[in-house]
Chain A
Amino acid sequence: MSGGSRIRVASHIAALPPSGIRRFFDLVSGMEDVVSLGVGEPDFSTPWRISDAAIEALQRGYTSYTSNLGMLPLRSAIADYLRTEFGVEYNPETEILVTNGVSEGLDLAARALLEPGDEVLVAEPCYVSYKATVSLAGGVPVVVETRAEEEFRLRPEALEAALTDRTRAVLLGYPNNPTGAIMTREDLLPVAEFAARHGLAVLSDEIYAHLRYEGQHTCFASLPGMRGQTLLFNGFSKAYAMTGWRLGYVCGPEEIIGAMNRIHSYTALCASILAQFGAIEALHHCQHERDEMIDAYNQRRRFLVNGLRAIGLECFEPLGAFYAFPSIKSTGLDDEEFAEALLEEEKVAVIPGRAFGESGKGHVRCCYATSMSDLRTALERMAAFLDRLPRQV
């Protein structure tokens, strides 16, 4: 019984494609003086009050594990916040699970809900993790495309067309990464009816809930009948500029949260106690700082979208998150060629739309959580780049 090594990467992992962003990351990494619109996180540091609260917790010796679900004061603060901001009620004792970012929450949900071969309808273009998260849990992501002409809103007809006997859930994220699209209450209602009609779980990633520049965010769980079949994901990464803290939460029916917590208790145990202290401070005292950051994003959003249009790119009005998703079809290049040439010639990094799914083709993602001076430089360089391209008729 001797022989070669038995160590190997599991075949289903070996077959997992790297995220479309990875290749771009490698391209950018070797270069100097790049102005990057390729990021997916705030350019602000975490508001100092939050950091200070975590430092104080550390100084006072809070360095232990917490309850698997997360510290109760944090869960209570989350429940209060969801009630006052979005009108949804969750019991902090049983219906809220604090996770290592929304990333972990999505993973837990997929593992708790899916059996091999179960299908999840994934609204695309979407955050790069969605499909991989479903696949890793043994599920099958079924892409439901949204289109620029419809401002990347999810339509029930498209969901209906993709439905099969194996469909278990719908996974959507609005305000959306990468498109900046939003769904109003009126847009969401037919999706809710679809989910109700077919008894599907709805995984609603609302991490950009506060980054809305027109109207109010509607929490999916607040739609009629939806509380019982929705998993609501949110976190501190975007609204409070806390990406590196790795803190999020998921709310839903006790039974599902309990199942997710069972996995979480084995695989993660709990979220970092320091991050939890920071998050409590964020919810209790940092509304003002949060709103100031959002106001800054809004100013940059207007500036960037205006600028993109002024240099000749078609760009629908993104009303959420911190991305613009202009079409680059008029240049005659495809999105990868465009992004690569722009990087090479002008040292501006944008992300090709197809990194977020085939339906993102022909677009590039430009993040405006970037300083005004970088946005100015990026637009100047992009204008020079477009000027040099042969005119398309």
Chain B
Amino acid sequence: MMEKVLRILEEDCRVPIDEIAQRLGITEDEVNKLIAEAEESGAILGYGAIVNWAKVRPDRVYAFISISAHPEHNIGFDEVARRIARFPEVHSLYLVSGTHDLTVVVEADDFREIASFVAERLAPIQGVQSTATSFVLKGYKLEGRMIDSGDGPQRLAVSP
């Protein structure tokens, strides 16, 4: 049931509690309890709109930065990652498998800001060995939503 509540909220966090209760066939109290639990445990990190900033601030830039890290005896990946994550420019950050170790998504007002963030903030961090920056040129899908895929097909309004 928890997962179903979370899926509904993930789809639209403005759905009223009584509607969630009806859809899942449980009481409003139960819904409230599940949500409180999820907030408590950190399963719900927050409630925000999914903004396609390209519509509002087309000049804003995003970059994916791949980092190779070299954890030293007293500094593990977690420490390196947390140091990086604290910068407000960092939108999201993952430890990944493959050719590098950390993937950082960074957003900034312009290219220069990202360049200086990489050169002056990321690169000097102890344990960061190398970085490779990919700038986002265009977004097609964001948080499970298609961007600008145009009007979908229309069903007939009445069918058997």
Interface residues of A (CB under 8 A from B): 19, 21, 24-25, 28-29, 34, 36, 38-41, 43, 45, 127-129, 177, 295, 299-300, 302-303, 306-307, 349, 351, 372, 376
Q: Does B45 contact A (CB under 8 A)?
A: no
Shortest Cβ distance from A128 into B: residue: B160
Residue numbers in B under 8 Å from A302 (CB-CB): 22-25
Q: Does B152 contact A (CB under 8 A)?
A: yes
Within 8 A of A (CB), among B103-160: 152-153, 155-160
The answer to whether B159 touches A41, judged by C-beta atoms less than 8 angstroms apart, is yes
Q: Which residue of A19, A24, A40, A45 has the most chain B CB atoms within 10 A of its CB atom?
A: A40
B153 to chain A, nearest CB (A): 8
A351 to chain B, nearest CB (A): 7
9 contacts between A and B (CB under 8 A): A19-B160, A24-B158, A36-B157, A45-B152, A129-B160, A299-B4, A303-B19, A303-B22, A307-B22
A306-B22 contact in complex given A41-B155, A43-B155, A45-B152, C-beta closer than 8 Å? yes
In whole angstroms, how far apart are the Cα atoms of A303 and B8 in the complex?
13
Total B residues in contact with A, Cβ cutoff 8 Å: 17
Residue numbers in B under 8 Å from A376 (CB-CB): 19
Residue numbers in A under 8 Å from B24 (CB-CB): 299, 302
Residue numbers in A under 8 Å from B12 (CB-CB): 372
Shortest Cβ distance from B23 into A: residue: A299
B96 to chain A, nearest CB (A): 25
The answer to whether A25 touches B22, judged by C-beta atoms less than 8 angstroms apart, is no
The answer to whether B155 touches A25, judged by C-beta atoms less than 8 angstroms apart, is no
In whole angstroms, how far apart are the Cα atoms of A21 and B4 in the complex?
36
In whole angstroms, how far apart are the Cα atoms of A25 and B4 in the complex?
36
> Which of A19, A34, A177, A295 is the one whose CB lies under 8 Å from B157?
A34
In whole angstroms, how far apart are the Cα atoms of A38 and B8 in the complex?
25
A353 to chain B, nearest CB (A): 14
The answer to whether B19 touches A39, judged by C-beta atoms less than 8 angstroms apart, is no
The answer to whether A300 touches B23, judged by C-beta atoms less than 8 angstroms apart, is yes
> Which of B23, B153, B156 is the one whose CB lies under 8 Å from A25?
B156
The answer to whether B160 touches A36, judged by C-beta atoms less than 8 angstroms apart, is no
Residue numbers in B under 8 Å from A177 (CB-CB): 160
A sample of 13 more A-B contacts (CB under 8 A), given A25-B159, A299-B24, A372-B15, is A21-B159, A36-B155, A40-B159, A40-B160, A295-B4, A299-B4, A299-B8, A302-B25, A306-B22, A307-B22, A349-B158, A372-B12, A376-B19
The answer to whether B155 touches A39, judged by C-beta atoms less than 8 angstroms apart, is yes
Shortest Cβ distance from A22 into B: residue: B158
B4 to chain A, nearest CB (A): 8
Shortest Cβ distance from A29 into B: residue: B157
In whole angstroms, how far apart are the Cα atoms of A43 and B19 in the complex?
20
Residue numbers in B under 8 Å from A21 (CB-CB): 158-160
In whole angstroms, how far apart are the Cα atoms of A34 and B12 in the complex?
23
Shortest Cβ distance from A373 into B: residue: B12
A347 to chain B, nearest CB (A): 10
The answer to whether A25 touches B152, judged by C-beta atoms less than 8 angstroms apart, is no
Residue numbers in A under 8 Å from B155 (CB-CB): 36, 39, 41, 43
Residue numbers in A under 8 Å from B8 (CB-CB): 299
Residue numbers in A under 8 Å from B25 (CB-CB): 302
Across the A-B interface, give the 7 residue pairs with the lowest CB-CB distance, nearest first. Answer: A299-B23, A38-B158, A25-B158, A36-B157, A40-B159, A28-B157, A128-B160
Shortest Cβ distance from A103 into B: residue: B160
A386 to chain B, nearest CB (A): 19
Residue numbers in A under 8 Å from B159 (CB-CB): 21, 25, 38-41
Residue numbers in B under 8 Å from A36 (CB-CB): 155, 157-158
A388 to chain B, nearest CB (A): 23
Residue numbers in B under 8 Å from A39 (CB-CB): 155-159
In whole angstroms, how far apart are the Cα atoms of A153 and B119 in the complex?
73
A246 to chain B, nearest CB (A): 14
The answer to whether B23 touches A303, judged by C-beta atoms less than 8 angstroms apart, is yes
Q: Which residue of B24, B157, B160 has the most chain A CB atoms within 10 A of its CB atom?
A: B160
In whole angstroms, how far apart are the Cα atoms of A34 and B24 in the complex?
27
Residue numbers in B under 8 Å from A299 (CB-CB): 4, 8, 23-24
Shortest Cβ distance from A28 into B: residue: B157
Residue numbers in A under 8 Å from B158 (CB-CB): 21, 24-25, 28, 36, 38-39, 349, 351
